């Protein structure tokens, strides 16, 4: 179904299964095919390819030459029905590629809201991305990656498959992540190593001075106290009882992943 208020350029190709919400705009030579649903107010520029099963929320902006919802590059993929779900108010810039999931995982790639994907950034199959993240030019997420809210990836940075990055972390340009990055941590280098807490970003987002001070203390326990992860968790518990921000740090460390950067 195509809403009567949708504006479609005459050169665009819209498949019979595509649903366009109110006020959706589709630019010249764009191709939308398969089970694609586009929410109200979303703008799609020229020469964009969107393939289903893909659900895109409201008020997104998708720029030229982006490829959204294409088959993944996993060699095990054999054409199974998988999906891509994108939230609201995201900006997907030129040349961005976002792939659907695989049946080897949950079958879905999932992206939240208010994210910025800059030129040529890539989101592989089965990734889960939170809200308010920024991926600078050519940032690359391998398959099965999980990214928390308010994470920033610098240009040309990359993360290994099954990697995780906690909320409010900052990944420097050209960084290569082969292990997980805890929340709030700034990571740089190839392979990436921790530098400090992302205190400037936290301050801009309204974190109190007391909470930032507690997170710095938690960071020192983990990275400068000569503690194992298990020992660091025990020593952080008192801080976690006082500050929910530190508890998020503890919860991330308690999960089983690829191990954290050191």
Encoded tokens for 27 = 């630019």
Catalytic residues: 125-126, 143
Distances 2 to 18, 38, 126, 191, 254 between C-alpha atoms, Å: 7, 10, 29, 48, 47
> Which residue in 11, 106, 91 sits closest to 56, CA to CA?
91
How buried is residue 62: exposed, middle or buried, by Cβ count under 10 Å (0-12/13-18/19+)?
buried
> Which residue in 237, 179, 249 sits closest to 212, CA to CA?
249
Q: How many residues does the chain have?
A: 262
């Amino acid at each position: 179904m195509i809403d009567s208020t949708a504006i479609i350029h005459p050169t665009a190709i819209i498949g019979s299964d595509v649903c366009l919400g109110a006020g959706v705009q589709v630019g010249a030579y764009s191709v939308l095919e398969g089970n694609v649903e586009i929410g109200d107010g979303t703008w799609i520029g020229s020469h964009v390819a969107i393939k289903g099963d893909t659900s895109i929320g409201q008020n997104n902006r998708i720029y030229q030459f982006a490829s959204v919802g294409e088959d993944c590059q996993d060699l095990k993929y054999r054409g199974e029905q998988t999906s891509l779900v994108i939230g609201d108010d995201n900006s997907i810039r030129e040349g961005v590629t976002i792939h659907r999931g695989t049946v080897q995982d949950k079958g879905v790639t999932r992206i939240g809201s208010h994210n910025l994907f800059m030129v040529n950034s890539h989101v592989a199959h089965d990734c889960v991305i939170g809200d308010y993240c920024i991926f600078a030019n050519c940032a690359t997420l391998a398959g099965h990656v999980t990214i928390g809210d308010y994470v920033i990836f610098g240009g040309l940075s990359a993360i290994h498959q099954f990697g995780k990055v906690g909320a409010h972390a900052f990944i420097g340009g050209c960084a290569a992540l082969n292990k997980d990055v805890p929340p709030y941590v700034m990571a740089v280098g190839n392979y990436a190593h921790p530098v400090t807490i992302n205190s400037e970003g936290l301050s801009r987002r309204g974190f109190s001075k007391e909470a930032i001070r507690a997170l710095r203390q938690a960071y020192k326990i983990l990275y400068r106290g000569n503690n194992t992860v298990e020992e660091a968790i025990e020593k952080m518990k008192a801080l976690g009882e006082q500050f929910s921000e530190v508890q998020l740090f503890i919860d991330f460390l308690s999960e089983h992943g690829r191990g954290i950067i050191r």
